[in-house]
Amino acid sequence: MTRSIAELTAVLTEPGRITRSGRGDAMHRLIVELYPVCRSITGDGMRTSLLRIKECVGLTLHEVPTGTRVFDWLVPREWNIRNGYIRNSRGETVVDFRNSNLHVMSYSVPVKARMPLSELRHHLHSLPGQPDLIPYRTSYYTEDWGFCLSHAQLESLEEGEYDVLIDSSLEPGHLTYGEAYIPGEVTDEILISCHCCHPSMCNDNLSGMALTTFLAAGLSEGRRRLSYRFLFIPGAIGAITWLALNEETVSRIRGGLVVACVGDAGPMTYKKSRRGDSEIDRAAAHVLKHSGKPFSIREFSPYGYDERQYCSPGFNLPVGSLTRTPHGEFPQYHTSADNPDFVRAESLEESLAAYMEILEVVDTNQTYMNTNPHCEPELGRRGLYASTGGQTHTPDDQMALLWVLNLSDGNYSLLDIAERSGMTFQTISRAAGRLREHGLLKKGGVGP
């Protein structure tokens, strides 16, 4: 049996389901499982993570060779790391990659050397303002090596000679990304994209990967009008690569969302697409507005996650980004404190439900024609208008019938009607369904 997105959403938003025993907990378990894997924009950490996700959803892994031209960029060399440490003159290991994969700067070239602390310091990164946390640093496009450690630890290092080892490789290989496609009744599609390139970080990275996995799993068992494409890619270069290799697909993208930072306790934040007033922008705003919970909506800016690429002027796709606390605005961001304790099952579950509701709106948003436009049809005769007593429908449901009948002249979609009436899309959509059952509404018009 297949279930519509609305039915799947209902399961997700049932009060009893928003508990630690629901999908939120399962997403959190996936996060904990993938937390130790050392991911980067290329390499085996990415492959391992995608192969695990492939066990949950039908994912195709693509391998794009190093040196492939993708617009103004080249696919970089593949980076892998096996070990890394700093040892003092007594042979004691003071920084060990095995304790945290944040300790080695991502894309560090191999090094094996002995040097005094004064020289080593040029390669050490810490956060003086957050002295107990290990920072996350990368050097993808400049050959360099480095270690990241807490500022407290850095301060405790004695003068003297140190042995440093980074057992890594930076060689021709591939950029790996994962893609899942769920066909619907029409080929117009919704793009859901998350970055997978950070090592041990939970809100920025793993929460998006977990939510996207569960969203894809949920939609693959549903009945949908639109088609859905899910991308698990390295940030920036992954989106650039996918867009460069899939220009034909791009014309079918009707809307999209970039998923990240969906597990913290902050309120939902929607960042609009560059267009600002596309259907997905309006659907996201509508769902958040009627959620009864705090939220914020922000205008587009050319910074952030992969909406930067999807909204570049040559594509200008209607792709926004739905997060909780945006990147860089929580103190744990890009540090060792973005750990499994920082992300919560309840937040993940609530975020997933918001995504499902938004997709339900775009999936079912249609424009209809009133088949009886000359004055109101007699609803009572059809059992659509409540007589006194024994009401099976709420006053809202009745008003929704009148709104849908009045505005369905082919120029207004159900989302337009929901916005104009101030009612929820669900109420308007339910009214449209009842009117269709009674032959008072037919598909048509200029809208979606």
Please give the Cα distance from 41 to 238 (Å, whole number): 8
- For Zn ion, the binding residue among 204, 357, 363, 416 (CB under 5 A) is 204
357 binds Zn ion (CB under 5 A): no
Tokens of 123: 């390669």
The nearest distance, CB 227 to Zn ion, in angstroms, is 29
8/37 with CB nearer Zn ion? 37
Under a CB-based contact definition with an 8 Å cutoff, are residues 342 and 264 in contact? yes
The nearest distance, CB 168 to Zn ion, in angstroms, is 21
The residue range among 143-151, 203-211, 220-228, 316-324 that interacts with Zn ion, by the rule CB under 5 A, is 203-211
Tokens of 314: 């040559």
DSSP-assigned beta bridge partners for residue 182: 228
The nearest distance, CB 328 to Zn ion, in angstroms, is 8
39/254 with CB nearer Zn ion? 39
Please give the Cα distance from 121 to 108 (Å, whole number): 15
Under a CB-based contact definition with an 8 Å cutoff, are residues 61 and 88 in contact? no
Under a CB-based contact definition with an 8 Å cutoff, are residues 277 and 339 in contact? no
By C-alpha distance, which of 201, 436, 172, 235 is closest to 337? 201
205/426 with CB nearer Zn ion? 205
Under a CB-based contact definition with an 8 Å cutoff, are residues 190 and 226 in contact? yes
Tokens of 374: 């000359």
Map tokens 């945290």 to a residue.
100
- In total, the chain counts a number of residues equal to 448
The nearest distance, CB 105 to Zn ion, in angstroms, is 14
138/176 with CB nearer Zn ion? 138
The nearest distance, CB 327 to Zn ion, in angstroms, is 6
From residue 279 to residue 308, what is the string marking binding to Zn ion with x (rule CB under 5 A)?
Answer: ------------------------------
Tell me the one-letter amino acid at 162: Y
From residue 22 to residue 61, what is the string marking binding to Zn ion with x (rule CB under 5 A)?
Answer: ----------------------------------------
The nearest distance, CB 41 to Zn ion, in angstroms, is 11
Under a CB-based contact definition with an 8 Å cutoff, are residues 186 and 209 in contact? no
Tokens of 447: 């809208």
From residue 75 to residue 114, what is the string marking binding to Zn ion with x (rule CB under 5 A)?
Answer: ----------------------------------------
* Residue ranges binding Zn ion (CB under 5 A): 204
